[in-house]
């Protein structure tokens, strides 16, 4: 890389599923795997969240050390990464002009606060208008549902996209818990939705918009993002 890439990762601040006491948050592997893919490629990474401060981790996504995905175990013993996760910047304090790309990890928490954040919608609209790469994985595309392009059209309209499928939501037993079915919403917004078999790795790059289907797709989503940033086709 001629110049160090600067990547912004925006996380959920929702620790519960709406008004219930059911715990949720960020799916740890969807943060950790892209985080290290970016760092190991020589990029700098900044962690932000909707509200700032400690970002909640879905307790279902982390086990004792040695029992997680390699990236999660690496994150758990990484003091710099852990500090960043506990001191995320609030979206409202971000100057998107300082970054080359934005990545939205998933976790069910995203379904509540990402679509409701006007600050996030404004930030992503500006990022898109400024020619930056935007990527999201699993439930991360919930952050795209209220984003419009420079013509005032939903960002996903007419573009190939994926996300945690309605079928996967039913398989997870949370189709009645989420505020809306994400696949259905992307389709309603005009997104050209695609997916493969439940819980298999799948990601799509449609120019500067990159989306991944599920937790198994985080590495592939990060790979496509780096390719877009390093001379791949960026429209």
Catalytic residue IDs: 138-139, 169
Half-sphere exposure of 154 (CA within 13 A, CB side): 21
Residue 181 C-alpha from the chain's centroid: 17
> Could you tell me which of 116, 162, 159, 138 has the C-alpha nearest to residue 216?
138
CA atoms of 19 and 59, how far apart (whole Å): 18
Contacts with 198 (C-beta within 8 Å, 6 or more apart), sequence order? 165, 167, 168, 171, 214
């Amino acid at each position: 890389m001629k110049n160090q890439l600067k990547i912004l990762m925006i996380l959920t601040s929702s620790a519960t599923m709406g008004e219930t006491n059911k715990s949720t948050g960020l799916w740890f592997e969807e943060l950790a795997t892209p985080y290290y893919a970016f760092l190991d490629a020589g990029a700098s990474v900044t962690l932000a969240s909707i509200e700032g401060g400690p970002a909640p981790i879905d307790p279902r996504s982390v086990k004792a050390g040695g029992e997680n995905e390699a990236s999660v175990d690496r994150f758990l013993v990484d003091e710099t990464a852990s500090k960043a996760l506990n001191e995320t910047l609030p979206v409202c304090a971000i100057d998107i002009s300082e970054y080359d790309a934005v990545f939205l990890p998933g976790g069910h928490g995203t379904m509540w606060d990402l679509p409701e954040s006007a600050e996030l919608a404004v930030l992503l609209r500006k990022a898109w208008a400024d020619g930056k790469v935007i990527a999201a994985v699993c439930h991360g595309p919930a952050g795209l549902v209220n984003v419009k392009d420079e013509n005032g059209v939903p960002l996903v309209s007419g573009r190939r996209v994926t996300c945690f499928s309605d079928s996967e939501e039913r398989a997870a037993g949370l189709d009645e818990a989420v505020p809306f079915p994400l696949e259905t919403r992307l389709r309603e917004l005009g997104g050209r939705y695609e997916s493969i078999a439940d819980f298999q790795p799948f990601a799509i790059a449609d120019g500067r918009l990159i989306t991944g289907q599920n937790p198994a797709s985080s590495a592939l989503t990060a790979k496509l993002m780096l390719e877009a940033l390093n001379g791949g086709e960026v429209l």
